[in-house]
Amino acid sequence: MPSHAGTPMSELAGGESDPDGRAMIEARDVTRVYRRPRTSLTRPGEAVHALKGVSLTVRRGERFGVVGESGSGKSTLLRLLCALDQPTSGSIRFEGRELTGLPERRLRFLRHSLQVVFQDPMSSLDPRMKVRDLVAEPLVALGEPVGGRVAELLDEVGLPASAAGHYPHQFSGGQRQRIAIARALAPRPKVLVADEPVSALDVSVRGQILNLLADLVDELGLTLVFVSHDLSVVRHVCETVAVMNDGEIVETGPVDDVWAGPRHPYTRALLRAVPTLEGLL
Ligand X SMILES: Nc1ncnc2c1ncn2[C@@H]1O[C@H](COP(=O)(O)OP(=O)(O)OP(=O)(O)O)[C@@H](O)[C@H]1O
Whichever of 2 and 173 has its CB closer to ligand X, that residue is 173
Single residue of 12, 26, 60, 75 touching ligand X by CB under 6 A = 75
How far does the chain reach from its first CA to its final CA, in angstroms?
A: 26
- CA 75 to CA 118: how far, in whole Å? 10
Is 165 within 8 Å of 131 (Cβ atoms)? Answer: yes
CB of 109 to ligand X, least distance (A): 25
H helix and E strand count, the chain? 11, 10
Cα angle: 53, vertex 59, 150; to 5 degrees: 110
Contact range with ligand X by CB under 6 A, out of 69-77, 143-151, 177-185, 211-219: 69-77
- CA 99 to CA 176: how far, in whole Å? 31
Residue 245 binds which of ligand X, Mg ion, none (CB < 5-8 A, kind-dependent):
none
Contact range with Mg ion by CB under 5 A, out of 73-81, 126-134, 175-183, 211-219: 73-81
134-193 residues near Mg ion, rule: CB under 5 A: none
Contact range with Mg ion by CB under 5 A, out of 55-63, 74-82, 130-138, 246-254: 74-82
Whichever of 68 and 187 has its CB closer to ligand X, that residue is 68
Whichever of 74 and 149 has its CB closer to ligand X, that residue is 74
- CA 126 to CA 133: how far, in whole Å? 10
Cα 110 to the chain's mean position, in Å? Answer: 13
Strands 223-228 and 191-195: parallel
Residue 68 binds which of ligand X, Mg ion, none (CB < 5-8 A, kind-dependent):
ligand X
Under the binding rule (CB under 6 A), the answer on residue 252 touching ligand X is no
- CA 90 to CA 216: how far, in whole Å? 32
Amino acid at 26: E
CA R_g for the chain: 19
Residue 50 binds which of Mg ion, ligand X, none (CB < 5-8 A, kind-dependent):
ligand X
Under the binding rule (CB under 6 A), the answer on residue 107 touching ligand X is no
Under the binding rule (CB under 6 A), the answer on residue 71 touching ligand X is yes
Is 177 within 8 Å of 196 (Cβ atoms)? Answer: no
Q: Which of 263, 267, 246, 268 has its CA nearest to residue 65?
A: 267
Residues 17-56: x/- map of binding to ligand X (CB under 6 A)? -----------------x-x-----------x-x------
Under the binding rule (CB under 6 A), the answer on residue 72 touching ligand X is yes
Under the binding rule (CB under 6 A), the answer on residue 259 touching ligand X is no
Under the binding rule (CB under 6 A), the answer on residue 65 touching ligand X is no
In this structure, the chain runs to a length of 281
Binding site for ligand X (CB under 6 A): 34, 36, 48, 50, 68, 70-76, 229
Binding site for Mg ion (CB under 5 A): 75
